[in-house]
Structure 1
């Protein structure tokens, strides 16, 4: 069975902000990249729907069903995999919304994938090649002088770069903000952000039950900044 994936990622934040849309096909156990559109910048992340349309066009796949031609046989993805974070507040909302809308429109499965889940197999393999390391840490950009840090045990936190305390031991350090933090004799990984095949592979593991369920919703680490007024909401108009 051929399985077609539309992959979306607008999670990188700050200077690393970018939008990624790609189409892949699975033949047996092999994933093949059919098309890819990627642009840097916050605007590209917020406009990921345009990148998705371009990637689909390059692949020769259709956008949501052609109501004027119900007999059209154009291929459509049967799975939409979206990176849910952690990362850009606006980018995550945009990409998750586009993924949900497209999946609903074509009747595809919708799968959420975290950045660490997509990179974990590569980081685990890299970790296994070094002796004496405490584990791996994935460090990604956040806002306001902070970064997100996730370890190979799944622990995730947002930390201030200024308040960072170097953990004991030697670590394999990866991610687009890895250079922002200090470590004792770290092993620097070349892994920064997941590529389309890594995202689709994580989606396959989730569909197979090898990863626990995860809704395709933004993965927010921080509590919401908006607060209700002290006197409560205004009464509904009459």
Structure 2
């Protein structure tokens, strides 16, 4: 029997889970609400395991998105992934939300990955044939200003759940852009991306959240 993965995504407004084995998705489900990860994600995972006819003890690993994305969603998803992994005595791995969206976009290059921060800004990473640039956070207009001197002959491909918003800002500023994938990260795509990286000998990330900005809520100062 080949590699069996449980994939969990909770980086965006929604959430999803999938079971992957031998190069195929056995089962996948998505939350129908964009709130309440803490209440709904664990039942979703139980359902997808049941759909796949797979027990946690039969898994080889659990992989979850580490961000960037929703502060609360990431914490819930990664805690669930680590809890399942500990109980089943298997590894828990992480994968960047950017890598999941890049997988969904196919091999388009140059590729701008645009993830909604839910605070009027976008998490961005640009991939070219030469490699990946450093991620940054900006408004759609700020992204357009940053790329105002873009000299590529072909339009820049844009993918992610903020793809249409960013592509519109780029086009309005004279930077040709085309949306190649528009939507949230998906656990089935996450599983495929993780399996491909493992097959290529590429290391996955530790299951810890990656934030490109501080959370909306901060702790109160300690009492004097």
- Name the counterpart of 2:88: 106
- Name the counterpart of 2:115: 140
- Name the counterpart of 1:158: 137
2:7, 2:190 within 8 Å by CA — same for their partners in 1?
Answer: yes
Q: Which has the higher helix share?
A: 2
Unpaired runs of at least 5, structure 1: 64-74, 128-134
- The 5 A counterparts of 1:20-169 are 20-26=16-22, 31-43=23-35, 45-46=37-38, 47-63=40-56, 76-121=58-103, 123=105, 125-127=107-109, 135-152=110-127, 153-161=132-140, 163-166=142-145, 167=147, 168-169=149-150
Q: TM-score normalised to the size of structure 2?
A: 0.80
Choose the corresponding residue for 2:181, options 190, 204, 208: 190
Instruction: Provide the rounded CA distance (Å) in 1 between the counterparts of 2:188 and 2:15.
Output: 16
Instruction: Provide the rounded CA distance (Å) in 2 between the counterparts of 1:191 and 1:218.
Output: 23
Indicate yes or no: 2:197 matched with 1:215.
no
Q: Alignment length, in residue pairs?
A: 206
Shift of 1:85: 1.1
Instruction: Provide the rounded CA distance (Å) in 1 between the counterparts of 2:35 and 2:186.
Output: 20
Root-mean-square deviation over aligned CA pairs? 2.4
Superposed CA offset, 1:105-156 (max 9, x none): 00122110112223435546223xxxxxxx2111111122111111111421
How has the CA–CA distance of structure 1 residues 189 and 55 changed in structure 2, closer, same or farther, with 3 Å as cutoff? same
Q: TM-score normalised to the size of structure 1?
A: 0.76
Instruction: Provide the rounded CA distance (Å) in 2 between the counterparts of 1:189 and 1:209.
Output: 25
Unpaired runs of at least 5, structure 2: none
